Amino acid sequence: MKAHLLFPAADFDFEADPPPHSADLIQDLELSTLLNAMAAGDKFLFDISGKVLLAGLTDTGDIRFRQEILADCIAQPEVVREMYLVACAALQDKRRVWGFFSSQHPTSILSAAVGQLEVLIVRLRELRQIADEHAAKFGSDGLTTLLRTLQLELDDEYFEALSHHLRQLRFRTGELLSAQLDRDNSGINYVLRSGVARRGWKERVGIEPRSVYSFSIHPRDEAGAHALQDIANRGINLVANAAAQSADHVSSYFTMLRAELGFYVSCLNLHDQLAARDQPTTFPHPAPWGSQPEFACTDLRDASLALRADRVVGNDVDADGKKLVVVTGANSGGKSTFLRSVGQAQLMMQCGMFVTANALRASVCRQVFTHFIREEDRAMVSGRLDEELKRMSAIADHAGPQCLILFNESFAATNEREGSEIGRQVVGALLEADIRVYFVTHQFDFADSFHRQRPDSALFLRAPRQPDGQRTFKLMVAEPLPTSFGRDIYDRIGGWLTEHPPGQSPGQSPGQPPGQPAAQSVAQSVAQSVAGPEQPG
């Protein structure tokens, strides 16, 4: 039997290596927060969720297959959790059976295999009972096929035959073997027979002639006992191997069932937490990658932020037909949050999950990459720009057509003219290679050049700033501006208040002699170092 809950006709390879740059995805998109919510403190669920989330699907049919199963799980969470607990209990029962394969003797292998089958058959009966009671409640192809298979293959006749064979394999009245004599009178062709040789009472008391010849080994005859054990091992060997393979097959079924159901249980955990925080969820519409990519969302939110913040603002974006989306605007205005929400939604959609939005339609991509700003290298092995270019080179080695790359403040470690030129060349090459790009930047030269050269093939979003300096955190379609309103942050951190008396410098206390405050001088030094030396002319 097969579970087939993640693919219609195949098993998920949980031993496969993660995709390239998975560590960057987890860090940049804050997937650890998402995975911790899915795991609910269970390390096994954390590992399973991470493997499925990062191994995205590219076939829209497979995505909808999982979406339908997950919709069934959300409608009947108690039944799905009960099946998962049965699979977990079966594997725990297996570990309690001591000595499985601990000895190479066939009799020991047979005894351990029979012991495991006896405890696993109890869990198979529980699965069959769940299928009998709840099969009619599900409508997805995956779950209805699973439950129907349990009902058909685990019928009463199967359990009766299995129990009968397990009782026989205990050999409580001894083993019956047949053998032939070789030319040197050694035994060959040992065969285990069903039943045991029985003698009538007349034969046992000596009234009738003996039908079989027998002898007994003295309790202290160790050599004789070893010889008899060797004979029994030869006859039992084939049966022991068959029983061990059967136990391994049933155990493997529960292992795969636990893993595949574990993904859906993780999704239920996440769904419960989002619902408790009154966050929207919906199943997205996956579209095949075409010449004109699709991406349109309503109230799309950062799932990780939604799990820890009380107030989360969603975004409505229509980027259909746009391979490049450039996001500019006010500092701390929600640009990076939007970028994370796009990456999270793409990964969640392509593993068959719901997304935190009211609606989403997006083209599937072959792989997602992120290129986010990093902290300065504390070891001073390389500069920030050097590190950014190395990471970009590593992405280029794996990226190809039909990929998605998310940039966050990339190539900003040098002056704006150089950083903009690097960004233009990199993004231009990616677009020519049929790679979709989302780029958050403060570099006006970079954003403005694409706005002038590609006004129809790119979408430009801006994080707005209200007249009083407040941020709405809701992006709007607008051309880039030459400022990101960094003065707002400087004023807030430097302590400059607009109600200070006229003529009083920022940071200057009443009565203090005029002069340049320390905070301002530091800010100007930083600005000068980022902008680079003043150019002549």
pLDDT tens-digit readout, 263-295: 999 999 999 999 999 999 999 999 998 878 999
Nearest by Cα to 475 from 329, 366, 344:
329
Cα 472 to Cα 523: distance, rounded to the nearest angstrom: 26
Q: pLDDT > 90: what percent of the chain?
A: 53
Q: Record the tokens describing residue 281, joined without a space.
A: 């969820």
What digits encode the pLDDT tens for the residues 32-49?
999 999 999 999 999 999
HSE-up (13 A, CA, CB side) for residue 324: 24
Q: Which of 111-115, 135-139, 457-461, 478-482 has the lowest mean pLDDT?
A: 111-115
**DSSP for 333-388, written as a single string:** SSHHHHHHHHHHHHHHHHTT--BSSSEEEEE--SEEEEEE-----TT-SS-HHHHH
Range 432-458 average pLDDT: 91
pLDDT of residue 103: 59
Cα 283 to Cα 368: distance, rounded to the nearest angstrom: 19
pLDDT of residue 237: 73
- pLDDT higher than 60, residue 499: no
Nearest by Cα to 118 from 192, 174, 168, 176:
168
Q: Which of 40-44, 111-115, 345-349 has the lowest mean pLDDT?
A: 111-115
Question: If one looks up domain 285-498 in CATH, what number appears?
Answer: 3.40.50.300
pLDDT of residue 30: 95
pLDDT of residue 378: 61
Who wins on pLDDT, 176 or 72? 72
Asked if residues 87 and 126 have their Cβ atoms less than 8 Å apart, the reply is: no
How crowded is residue 301: how many other Cβ atoms within 10 Å of its Cβ?
Answer: 27
Range 77-85 average pLDDT: 97
Q: Which of 40-44, 238-242, 341-345, 419-423 has the lowest mean pLDDT?
A: 238-242
Say whether 410 sits in a helix, a strand or coil: coil
pLDDT of residue 211: 60
Who wins on pLDDT, 420 or 168? 420
Range 505-513 average pLDDT: 45
pLDDT of residue 486: 52
Cα 358 to Cα 278: distance, rounded to the nearest angstrom: 12
Who wins on pLDDT, 57 or 379? 57
- pLDDT higher than 80, residue 380: no
pLDDT classification of 484: cutoffs 50, 70, 90? low
Cα 385 to Cα 421: distance, rounded to the nearest angstrom: 13
- pLDDT higher than 70, residue 201: no
Residue 315 host element (H or E): strand 315-318
Cα 424 to Cα 428: distance, rounded to the nearest angstrom: 6
Strand-pair category, 295-300 with 403-408: unpaired
**DSSP for 416-445, written as a single string:** HHHHHHHHHHHHHHHHHTT-EEEEE---HH
User: Please, what is the average pLDDT of the chain?
Assistant: 83
pLDDT classification of 518: cutoffs 50, 70, 90? very low
Nearest by Cα to 353 from 255, 434, 268:
268
Q: Where are the alpha helices (DSSP H) in 102-221?
A: 106-134, 141-153, 156-169, 201-205
pLDDT of residue 415: 87
pLDDT of residue 215: 64
- pLDDT higher than 50, residue 522: no
CB-based burial of residue 381 (10 Å sphere; 0-12 exposed, 13-18 middle, 19+ buried)? exposed
Range 452-478 average pLDDT: 87
pLDDT of residue 129: 95
Residue located via tokens 């998109």:
29
pLDDT of residue 253: 93
Cα 359 to Cα 280: distance, rounded to the nearest angstrom: 9
How crowded is residue 159: how many other Cβ atoms within 10 Å of its Cβ?
Answer: 14
Q: Record the tokens describing residue 100, joined without a space.
A: 């499985």
- pLDDT higher than 50, residue 526: no
What digits encode the pLDDT tens for the residues 387-431?
899 999 999 999 999 999 999 999 988 888 999 999 999 999 999
pLDDT of residue 140: 95
pLDDT of residue 485: 55
